[in-house]
Amino acid sequence: MMQGKFITIEGSEGAGKSTNMCFVQDFLSSKNIEFISTREPGGTEISEKIRDLLLDKSNSSLCDDAELLLMFAARAQHLNELIKPTLAAGKWVISDRFTDASYAYQGGGRGLSWEKITQLEQWVQGSLRPDATILLDIPVDIGMQRVRERGEADRFEQEQLSFFNRIRDAYLRLAKENPKRFHIVDTQPAIEDVHKQMRTVMEMITDSVTL
């Protein structure tokens, strides 16, 4: 059976990942492509427990290195229990965040060494990388306004704007360094315009593979 495709959706807070995940799911269903949707940190019972630790704002003493290692601990479980078996079965995997988020949040936001993250990436993932990554990009002030309108913030969402500006810069750096994998979608316009961009991207992604 043909190996499935691994698509990741990235972006800072308030970029519209949930809405656009739904668009991707509907698009793939219309093409009769079998897929599963998942998220990081999370996706499995163990990884979701780690997610709770990471997002709980009462864990304010969690140090940056511990945060990074917990992200990769959750990712290792996610890969081995869900992502790899699904891809091997010929199904697509659509993930709300993956390792690019570690480069953006822990590398860009926290200022941790990208070399450390690369070492963990190689250890946990081996040669596995997403086939395509959709980066939902939005100015930080607009994204955070959307977050505030949603209600109570988690441990990451309560950070300062400078933290999220560094995250956005890191994401754009990743996109520049990996132009064949990344597809940038501007999520500032009306949802109809965003979905037009998303449709173009998804058509490119599905047309580039033999189904």
Express each pLDDT in 147-160 by its tens digit: 888 877 888 888 88
Question: pLDDT at position 108, please?
Answer: 97
Q: Which domain holds residue 128?
A: 6-207
- Total domains in the chain come to 1
Q: How confident is the model over 71-107, as pLDDT tens digits?
A: 999 999 999 999 999 999 999 999 999 999 999 999 9
Assess if residue 35 is contained within a domain.
yes
Question: CA 146 to CA 103: how far, in whole Å?
Answer: 23
Query: How far is 123 from 164, CA to CA, in rounded Å?
Result: 27
Residue range 102-135, pLDDT digits in tens = 999 999 999 999 999 999 999 999 999 999 999 9
Structure tokens at 109: 């936001």
Give the per-residue pLDDT at 82. 98
Say which amino acid occupies 72.
F
Residue 80 lies in a domain: yes
Which pLDDT score is estimated for 158?
85
pLDDT exceeds cutoff 50 at 191: yes
Q: Identify whether 86 is part of a domain.
A: yes
pTM assigned to the model: 0.94
Q: Could you give the percent of the chain with pLDDT greater than 90?
A: 85
- Does any domain span residue 195? yes
pLDDT at 211 over 50: no
Q: What is the CATH number of the domain that holds 149?
A: 3.40.50.300
Q: Residue 22: inside a domain, yes or no?
A: yes
The answer to whether residue 131 is domain-embedded is yes
Given pLDDT bands bounded at 50, 70 and 90, which one contains residue 23? very high
Angstrom distances, CA of residue 12 to CA of 76, 125, 135, 147, 192: 22, 23, 9, 10, 20
1 in any annotated domain: no
